[in-house]
């Protein structure tokens, strides 16, 4: 009996000194959901002027009700000195009910040749919550005076 009592008395101070002692599994911090990532692609990437380019942006990963990405303003910077903006009209956010938009697409016409870096920014108020960019190449075409 004495040996058993001695062993249990030694274990008691070790358990009390442990930083995890007394923590129940419910007390552990919950992980934040992973933020969706934004990607942007253009078609075609290389063409002749004037060129109409189709752009598609997609949010991948993360939960469908990720609050920071719900109902963002959309800002396109075309790289040719022009910009486009839009702000959707959405219902107030409700956790578990509201769904983020995962796909954004548009067309833009580039009138002259050049290399253009197109950027997309998703914003909530004045804060950029996601951004992506791609580069397209427009080669000289009929309007640029290239003889055939």
Do the Cβ atoms of 76 and 84 come closer than 8 Å?
Answer: yes
**CA atoms within 13 Å, Cβ hemisphere of 111:** 3
pTM equals: 0.74
Taken in order of first residue, the domains within the chain and their CATH numbers are 33-143 (2.60.40.10)
The span from the CA of 51 to the CA of 42, in Å, is 12
Q: Which of 95, 97, 96, 117 is nearest to 108 (CA)?
A: 117
Chunked into runs of 10 residues, the chain (148 residues) has average pLDDT values of: 45 46 52 91 96 98 95 97 95 95 97 97 95 97 68
Q: What is the pLDDT of residue 99?
A: 96
Q: What is the pLDDT of residue 31?
A: 75
Q: What is the pLDDT of residue 145?
A: 66
The span from the CA of 56 to the CA of 102, in Å, is 10
Q: What is the pLDDT of residue 26?
A: 52
SS3 content of the chain, % helix, strand, coil (to 5): 15, 40, 40
The span from the CA of 16 to the CA of 12, in Å, is 6
4-27 tens-digit pLDDT:
444 444 444 444 444 444 544 554
């Amino acid at each position: 009996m004495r040996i058993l009592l001695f062993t249990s008395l030694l274990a008691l101070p070790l358990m009390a000194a442990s930083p995890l002692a007394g923590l129940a599994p419910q007390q552990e911090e919950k992980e934040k959901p992973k933020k969706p990532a934004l990607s942007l692609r253009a078609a075609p990437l290389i063409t002749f002027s004037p060129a109409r380019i189709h752009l598609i942006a997609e949010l991948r990963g993360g939960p469908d009700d990720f609050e920071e990405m719900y109902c963002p303003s959309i800002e396109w910077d075309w790289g040719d000195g022009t910009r486009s903006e839009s702000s959707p009209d959405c219902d107030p956010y409700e956790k578990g009910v509201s769904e983020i938009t995962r796909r954004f697409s548009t067309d833009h016409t580039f009138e002259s040749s050049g290399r253009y870096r197109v950027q997309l920014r998703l914003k909530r108020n004045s804060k950029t919550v996601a951004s992506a960019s791609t580069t397209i190449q427009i080669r000289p075409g009929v309007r640029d005076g290239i003889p055939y």
